[in-house]
Amino acid sequence: MTDVRIGSLDLLLLAAGLGVLVAAGFVASVRDALRLAGLAFVVGFALVGALLSFVLPLGAPMSVGLVLAAAALPVAAAIVVRSRSASTLETRPATRVARAGRIVVGVAAVAVLGYLAVLLRAVHAEGSSNAWDAWTFWIPKAKTIFYFHGLDAGPGGITSYANPEYPPLLPAMDASVFQFAGRAQATLLPVQEWLLAAAFIWGLAGLFWRRVPTTVLAVSLALLLFMPDIGGTVGQSLADLPLSLLLGTAAACLALWLVERSGRYLVPAAFLLAAAAATKKEGLGLAVVLLVATAVAARSPRRSIPLLAPAGAAIAAVVPWDVWLRTNHVVTSGTYRLADVFDPHFLAGRWGRLGTSADRVPQYLFDVGRWELVLPLALLAALLVVRRSPGPALLVIVSTVLGLLGLIGIYWISFLPLEFHLDTSATRTVMPFVVVGGSLLPLLLGLALRSGRAQTAPV
Is residue 17 situated within a structural domain? yes
Residue 101 has pLDDT above 70, yes or no: no
Domain assignment present for 174: yes
Query: pTM for the full model?
Result: 0.93
Instruction: Using pLDDT thresholds of 50, 70 and 90, give the confidence band for residue 261.
Output: confident
The share of the chain scoring above pLDDT 70, in percent, equals: 91
**Residue numbers of the domain that contains 282:** 2-84+101-329
Residue 68 lies in a domain: yes
Q: Is the pLDDT reported for residue 456 higher than 50?
A: no
Q: Considering the domain boundaries, does residue 452 fall inside one? A: no
pLDDT on residue 91: 46
The answer to the question of residue 210 being in a domain is yes
3-state secondary structure the chain: CHHHHHHHHHHHHHHHHHHHHHHHCCCCCHHHHHHCHHHHHHHHHHHHHHHHHHHHHHCCCCCHHHHHHHHHHHHHHHHHHCCCCCCCCCCCCCCCCCHHHHHHHHHHHHHHHHHHHHHHHHHHHHCCCCCHHHHHHHHHHHHHHHHHCCCCCCCCCHHHCCCCCCCCHHHHHHHHHHHHHCCCCHHHHHHHHHHHHHHHHHHHHHHHCCCCCHHHHHHHHHHHHCCHHHHCCCCCCCCHHHHHHHHHHHHHHHHHHHHHCCHHHHHHHHHHHHHHHCCCCCHHHHHHHHHHHHHHHHCCCCCCHHHHHHHHHHHHHHHHHHHHHHHCCCCCCCCCCHHHHHCHHHHHCCHHHHHHHHHHHHHHHCCHHHHCCHHHHHHHHHHHHCCCCHHHHHHHHHHHHHHHHHHHHHHHHCCCCHHHHHHHHHHHHCHHHHHHHHHHHHHHHHHHHHHHHHHHCCC
Q: Is residue 414 part of a domain?
A: no
Q: Is residue 49 part of a domain?
A: yes
Query: Does residue 406 sit within a domain?
Result: no
pLDDT tens per residue across span 139-194: 999 999 999 999 998 888 999 998 899 999 999 999 999 999 999 998 889 999 99
pLDDT digits (tens, 9 = 90+) for 396-452: 999 999 999 999 999 999 989 999 999 999 999 999 999 999 999 999 999 988 765
Q: How confident is the model at residue 5 (pLDDT cuts 50, 70, 90)?
A: confident
Look at the chain and report how many structural domains it folds into: 1
